[in-house]
Amino acid sequence: MQTLQLKTLSRDELDAFIESLDEKLFRAAQLWSWLYQKNIVDFGHMTNLAKEFRIHLLEKTTAKRLDLIHLNHSESTGTQKFLWQLEDGQQIESVYIPEGSRRTVCVSTQVGCAMGCTFCATGRMGLIRNLSEYEILEQVLSIWDRINEKPTNIVVMGMGEPFQNYENVIKSLTILNHVDGAAMGARKITISTCGIVPRILQFAKERQPFKLAISLNATTDAVRSRIMPINRKYPLKELMKAAKYYSHHTRKRITFEYVLIKDVNDTSEDAGRLLKLLQDLPCKINLIAYNATSGKYARPDEAVIKRFAKQIESICAPVILRLSKGDDINGACGQLLVEKVNVF
């Protein structure tokens, strides 16, 4: 008989499962609290559960941690990159980024990625498979267990395109957001997409509470299609129409991420077009200087980065120049890449 992973269950699904065991419904609330408020996975430590119930859980279910097989730690920033092994032998990475009072976890949603963005290391892997709800949310819970503090922020910007694994991503974040569990605030959870237009529209229509970020990275279809193949299917005009629909429908501000790449998208003309593209849209702009991978691109000179940031200052939106954390351990934006590591 296959063992049920409890962390694939929503709150309502857990209620139904507990009732199927002929247990009192309040047991589901107790179990949910142990799993997500206290972040405990050992049934033997769940002291307010009856012994017979704990035995029943041991026989039929599991709630175990991800298997950590490698950890890189940045001495300069405190950033940590975790390499996890999944039950089928596949491997994924996630990143912990401490900054002041913020404790951010960058979460992966797929093994590899099908989007093929030419500046992103993960794209070189291709898509192997989607992650389950458990494999997504447990990245956060396992890191919480290891740093002994609950993360304050979640960014779904690791390996994979979240909106290609939409249902599992939304379900896992809803579990982490649940008021009776980890209670991680929806305003502290950001999902980043390269521009899957139908899912942006769905996300808006469902009024999902989580924040939306769009990886833009170019101001013309010619350049964006060259560095982000998804643009050939959903060009800028269609993407910006979806972004405006989201903003109007939800009354929420979008974050646009713009990775500055030397001699690709960093000119004064690019900055001018970016201003024009976003001028009527409530948003925030994250400028990210390219983080080197083994690809063909380079980071712009510091003077070019500062000039670009200065040029778009006039937009009626916050402009944040993001300083990479974890690039010394290949844990920064665009650097996540699993090259198979053996477990000893």
Strand partners, 155: 106, 190
| Single-letter amino acid code for the residue at 272 | G
Task: Tell me the backbone φ, ψ of residue 329, rounded to 5 degrees.
Answer: -120, 20
Per-residue HEC secondary structure of 31-49 comes to: HHHHHHHCCCCCHHHCCCC
Collect all residues with Cβ–Cβ distance below 8 Å to 52 and sequence separation of at least 6. Answer: none
Cα–Cα distance for residue pair 241/333, rounded to 1 Å = 26
Cα–Cα distance for residue pair 198/2, rounded to 1 Å = 35
Collect all residues with Cβ–Cβ distance below 8 Å to 1 and sequence separation of at least 6. Answer: 60
Contact 175, 133 (CB under 8 A): yes
Catalytic residue among 93, 133, 138, 161: 93
Cα–Cα distance for residue pair 344/341, rounded to 1 Å = 9
Cα–Cα distance for residue pair 234/72, rounded to 1 Å = 37
CA 127 to chain centre: 16
Whether 93 is catalytic? yes
Cα–Cα distance for residue pair 61/3, rounded to 1 Å = 5
Q: What is residue 322's three-state secondary structure?
A: strand
Catalytic residue among 106, 113, 120, 333: 333
Name the token pair of 324.
């990479």
Cα–Cα distance for residue pair 162/91, rounded to 1 Å = 17
Cα–Cα distance for residue pair 210/173, rounded to 1 Å = 8
Cα–Cα distance for residue pair 41/30, rounded to 1 Å = 13
- Residue 4's CB: how many other CB atoms inside 10 A? 14
Name the token pair of 330.
């290949």
- Residue 297's CB: how many other CB atoms inside 10 A? 18
- Provide the annotated active-site residues: 93, 333
